[in-house]
Amino acid sequence: MSISAKSFALHAGLIAVLFALGFLLPTYHQGNLARIMVLATYAVGYNVLFGYTGLLSLGHAMFFAAGMYGLGLAMHLGGLPPIPAFIIGLIAAAALSTIVALLALRTIGVAFMIVTLMFSQAVFLTILYLGTYTGGDEGFVIAQSSRQILGYDLTHPLTRYMAALFVFSAALLITARMMQASFGQVLIGVRENEERTTMLGYDVFRHKLASVIISGTISGAAGATYALLFGYVGATFGSVQYSIFPLLWVLLGGAGTTIGPLVGAVFMFYLIDYSSGLTNAYMLIAGVVLVLLTLFARAGIVGEIRKRWVTWLP
Amino acid sequence: MDFGPHLLLAILEGAVGAAVLALTALGLSLVFGVMRVVNVAHGEFFMVGAVVAWFVADTVAGHPALGFTAALIIAPVVAGLIAVLVDKLVLKQVEYDPEATIVGTIGVLYILQQTALMTYGPEPRPVEAPFSTRIPLPWFEWGENGFAMFYPWGLSITSYKLFVICAAAAVLVAFWLIMSRTRYGLIMRATQLDRETALAFGIPVSRVYSIVFGIGAGLAALAAVLIVPIQQAYYLMGAEPLLLSFIVVIIGGLGSVRGTVVAALLIGMSDGIISVFLSPTLSKIIATLLVALVLVFRPQGLFGTKAA
């Protein structure tokens, strides 16, 4: 089998397994996995920029929040149905990522990380400042009756699971296809050696710009989906912690691998879920995992598997 | 109160904030300057200083000044030792790679913060000031009876706040003297300028790195001990000084110590003054956006000359 056939089989198989799990899992884990798939979509978006283009952003929560508040406010205050509201969420995330990219891409390295962190912090503070509309710290709930698409009730556990699977699969397949195309190969070129990519005649800035916008828009789609499926919009999702999470998931699963974001999100979600039963200091686990990853497994779970055993992994 | 006395009060409050901020940001700037490491856990060393100060003050019996003095020595040492440990166990192992150190120190941030939550607990606690006399301040005005001096109600400062300003100034001067006049300062500056050449001249660079990282954390902890009788010790208190220190170090020019002190005074004072007159959230939004734009358009900082 050729490599592209193998990776197609891997992705199709993964989606089939997730589909089957929707019917097999008990309700508690079914709900968890639905949430994980939405968060993994966020991680897939983050991976486009961090894993493939090599740009470390510390402010992706602003894109997640843009999608979330774009959809949430359109439904809550504007009274729009889910699909137009979802599109507004996507537009909000795409517009914000374009503005941020045009400014932040003038910097490199550490400055890029700090600039993204600062912009995200400004967005987070703006959400708090506009508390009259956004509900500030407490956020707001999207009415259960309005969360219906084409007659399907998104608050029903199985429907919600399938909707999450649909969004995750779309993000996974789009990015996997993108990375096989020449556009994705140029992004990897930028990550590996920016000067050489420039010298080969590629417009590095435009590729980076496109990468930030794609990454930000997928993150925004995840935020909008989260608000739609779980019915809650809150400022926490725009805080620094939610910029650190996708970094953590992608690093743990494997940066620059297609299935790494999902693997990382699953592991981290259950680690935190398990430890929050033991102590209220559950973020300790996140800290320890981050330090251990930097020290011993820079490639993450899927990355290490690819390095040692299965070299064809996409 | 009239506008004049109100402004004076805001300036005094701003000066206290600026003094503490200058110490905290100096630690961050020193670490970035010498080691080229962005220490995201810097705010947590500040928090550790405050929490240790509470433990020490709680343990030491007798006059509050005794406990406070003990805390002033113990807290920076504890924070410094933790930092040396972090340097040896994490930063050195990843060979100070910029990306890995940022991710690693984010991990350290959560470890310190959550350990404080588990041991110290979620509630904020105060430390008693060693002395706290209210000093009323006079105000001068041209009135109907000509020039008059009076004490407006509410215009006052405590002796402790004056002490904070003086203590911070003393530490800054001492730091400057050490950096510019002593052999240790020379070694640190040599390492900052050129790591390889310093190594070739027999400077133990890896030990210098450990010590610098320890001093950086110690400065943050010292600042926290000074502020803890005014604010309270709380396990989440590290975020604010971290953000403000970032702002200061960026505005002052990454790695420039003089720029850092000037920027700390500017930011601390204006933060104090603005938040008296404007909504604190709005002023923070403006500040973070300005900083991001400074980094984008003037990466060398407002006062720096060389590129970061």
Inform me whether the pLDDT recorded for A310 exceeds 90.
no
What's the gap between Cα B58 and its chain centre?
Answer: 23
Q: Which residues of B touch A (CB under 8 A)?
A: 38, 90, 93-94, 98-100, 102-104, 106-115, 117-118, 122, 239, 243, 246, 250, 279, 281-282, 284-285, 288-289, 291-293, 295-297, 299, 308
Q: Is residue A255 part of a domain?
A: no
Q: Is residue A270 part of a domain?
A: no
What distance in Å separates residue B289's CA from the closest CA in chain A?
6
Q: What is the pLDDT of residues A111-160, one digit of tens each?
A: 898 899 999 999 999 999 999 999 888 999 998 888 988 888 998 999 99
Of the candidate ranges A277-281, B115-119, B184-188, B276-280, the one whose mean pLDDT is the lowest: B276-280
Of the candidate ranges A14-18, A114-118, A244-248, B132-136, the one whose mean pLDDT is the lowest: B132-136
Q: What is the pLDDT of residues A253-292, one digit of tens each?
A: 999 999 999 999 999 999 888 888 887 888 898 899 999 9
B103 CB neighbours in chain A (<8 A) are 247, 251, 290, 293-294
Helical segments of chain B, H only: 3-35, 42-59, 64-86, 98-119, 159-181, 183-193, 195-200, 205-227, 239-252, 257-277, 280-297
Q: Give the pLDDT score at B304.
A: 58
Q: Give the pLDDT score at B255.
A: 64
Q: What is the pLDDT of residues B170-182, one digit of tens each?
A: 999 999 999 989 9
CB distance A128–B281 less than 8 Å? yes
Q: Is residue A165 part of a domain?
A: yes
Q: Give the pLDDT score at B303.
A: 63
Which residue of A100, A113, A125, A243 is the best one to mutate when testing the B interface, meaning the one whose CB has the most B CBs within 10 A? A125
- Alpha-carbon distance of B12 to A283, in angstroms, equals 38
Q: How far is CA A294 from CA A112, A254, B170, B257, in A?
A: 20, 12, 39, 30
CB distance A286–B107 less than 8 Å? yes
Q: For residue B62, what is the DSSP state?
A: S
Inform me whether the pLDDT recorded for A15 exceeds 90.
yes
Which residue of A103, A114, A280 is the best one to mutate when testing the B interface, meaning the one whose CB has the most B CBs within 10 A? A114
Q: Give the pLDDT score at B269.
A: 83
Q: Give the pLDDT score at B254.
A: 66
Inform me whether the pLDDT recorded for B150 exceeds 80.
no
pLDDT band at B36 (very low <50, low <70, confident <90, very high): confident
DSSP state letters, B86-98: HIIIIITTTTT-H
What distance in Å separates residue B120's CA from the closest CA in chain A?
12
Q: What is the mean pLDDT of residues B239-252?
A: 86
**What are the residue ranges spanned by the domains of chain B?**
3-297
pLDDT band at B308 (very low <50, low <70, confident <90, very high): very low
What's the gap between Cα B178 and its chain centre?
Answer: 18
pLDDT band at A50 (very low <50, low <70, confident <90, very high): very high
What distance in Å separates residue B113's CA from the closest CA in chain A?
8
Domain housing A164: 3-239
Mean pLDDT of all residues in chain A? 93
Q: Is residue A263 part of a domain?
A: no
Q: What is the pLDDT of residues B63-83, one digit of tens each?
A: 888 999 999 999 999 999 999
Q: Give the pLDDT score at B5.
A: 80
Q: Is residue A34 part of a domain?
A: yes
Q: Give the pLDDT score at B30.
A: 92
Number of domains comprising chain A? 1
Q: Is residue A267 part of a domain?
A: no
Q: What is the mean pLDDT of residues B196-225?
A: 95
Q: Give me the total of CB pairs closer than 8 Å, taking one residue from chain A and one from chain B.
A: 116
Inform me whether the pLDDT recorded for B154 exceeds 80.
no
Q: What is the mean pLDDT of residues A162-168?
A: 97
Ramachandran assignment for A310, one of left (phi > 0), alpha (psi -120 to 50 degrees), beta (any other): beta
Mean pLDDT of all residues in chain B? 88
Q: Give the pLDDT score at B307.
A: 43
Q: What is the mean pLDDT of residues B131-158?
A: 78
Pairing of strands B146-150, A152-153: unpaired
Q: What is the pLDDT of residues B249-303, one digit of tens each?
A: 888 876 677 888 888 988 888 777 777 777 778 888 888 888 888 888 887 766 6
Are A114 and A57 spatial neighbours (Cβ–Cβ below 8 Å)? no
A114 CB neighbours in chain B (<8 A) are 38, 246, 250, 292, 295
CB distance A288–B111 less than 8 Å? yes
- Alpha-carbon distance of B193 to A43, in angstroms, equals 39
Pairing of strands A148-149, A152-153: antiparallel
Written as six digits, the tokens of B23 are: 């110490």
Q: What kind of fold does domain B3-297 have according to CATH?
A: ABC transporter involved in vitamin B12 uptake, BtuC (1.10.3470)
Are B238 and B228 spatial neighbours (Cβ–Cβ below 8 Å)? no
Comparison of pLDDT for B62 and A264, the residue scoring more:
A264
Q: What is the pLDDT of residues B217-241, one digit of tens each?
A: 999 999 999 999 999 999 999 988 9
Q: Give the pLDDT score at A194.
A: 93
A58 CB neighbours in chain B (<8 A) are 102
Q: Give the pLDDT score at B109.
A: 95
Inform me whether the pLDDT recorded for B2 exceeds 80.
no
Which residue of B87, B94, B103, B281 is the best one to mutate when testing the A interface, meaning the one whose CB has the most A CBs within 10 A? B103
Q: Give the pLDDT score at A309.
A: 86
Written as six digits, the tokens of A241 are: 């912690």
Surface-to-core class of residue B163, CB atoms within 10 Å of its CB (0-12 exposed, 13-18 middle, 19+ buried): middle
The residue of chain A nearest to residue B297, with distances taken between CA atoms, is: A106
